[in-house]
Chain A
Amino acid sequence: EPEVTQTPSHQVTQMGQEVILRCVPISNHLYFYWYRQILGQKVEFLVSFYNNEISEKSEIFDDQFSVERPDGSNFTLKIRSTKLEDSAMYFCASSEAMISNQPQHFGDGTRLSIL
């Protein structure tokens, strides 16, 4: 069964540094998402992306965050200047369409640790 793959599985970065998290969505999917889960808290929506542009973003997704689909297969999340509170598990997801019978499929996540 096709999977969403995320790299790296664990990223350790110094505060203030830029970090790029990478995702390869399922190949025929058109909608892409990033979520995060701070340890012990809920999974939270960050951003959705379709047709090479952001379609919705949450309050968390401020100017320090950006997303990009640099080629036909990758989908990236960049954090420009990381803060301690950015430490979390980041999940990428994709779906064929944005309707109810096409659910989002999630990757295994990247654990981001900011020192």
Chain B
Amino acid sequence: AQSVTQLGSHVSVSEGALVLLRCNYSSSVPPYLFWYVQYPNQGLQLLLKYTSAATLVKGINGFEAEFKKSETSFHLTKPSAHMSDAAEYFCALGNEKLTFGTGTRLTIIP
């Protein structure tokens, strides 16, 4: 069975500081991994995807994630947080059927 664990339901960082959102997965087959972002009253927007071509994946809005098979992790980072990054972030695993983590709400402190 596949599963996704996101550590930290709430993360607060200062504007300009590093953003690190954690995601660990469990999968019996090589995983397809995604990060989605949800702004208030909106749907899920794809930030980036891991498709086994490269372990460091760059996405939109300056975000990137690194796939580490040995750690079964796919953490999301951004070097410098912006106020507009405040949202809920979901890590997801799968292909036809996506399995989502519980989400991390990111708050940016001015």
Tally of A-B Cβ pairs under 8 angstroms: 54
A51 contacts the other chain (CB 8 A):
no
Chain A residues whose CB sits within 8 angstroms of the CB of B99 once the complex forms: 45
Supposing A91-B43, A100-B49, A106-B44 touch, asked if A42 and B100 sit within 8 A by C-beta, the answer is yes
- What's the tally of chain B residues with a CB closer than 8 Å to chain A? 23
Interface on B for A, CB 8 Å cutoff?
A: 32, 34, 36, 41-46, 49, 51-52, 90, 92, 95-103
In the assembled complex, 28 residue pairs joining A and B whose CB atoms fall closer than 8 Å, in A order, are A4-B43, A33-B98, A35-B98, A41-B102, A43-B44, A43-B92, A43-B100, A45-B97, A45-B98, A56-B97, A91-B43, A91-B44, A93-B44, A98-B95, A100-B51, A100-B52, A100-B95, A103-B34, A103-B46, A104-B46, A104-B98, A105-B46, A106-B36, A106-B43, A107-B43, A108-B41, A108-B42, A108-B43
| B10 nearest CB across to chain A (Å) | 13
Chain A residues whose CB sits within 8 angstroms of the CB of B43 once the complex forms: 4, 6, 91, 106-109
For A88-115 the 0/1 string (1 means CB < 8 A from B) is 0001010000111101111111000000
| A72 nearest CB across to chain B (Å) | 22
Most chain B C-beta atoms within 10 Å of own C-beta, residue among A35, A43, A58, A108: A43
Chain A residues whose CB sits within 8 angstroms of the CB of B42 once the complex forms: 108
Closest chain A residue, CB of each to CB of B6: A42
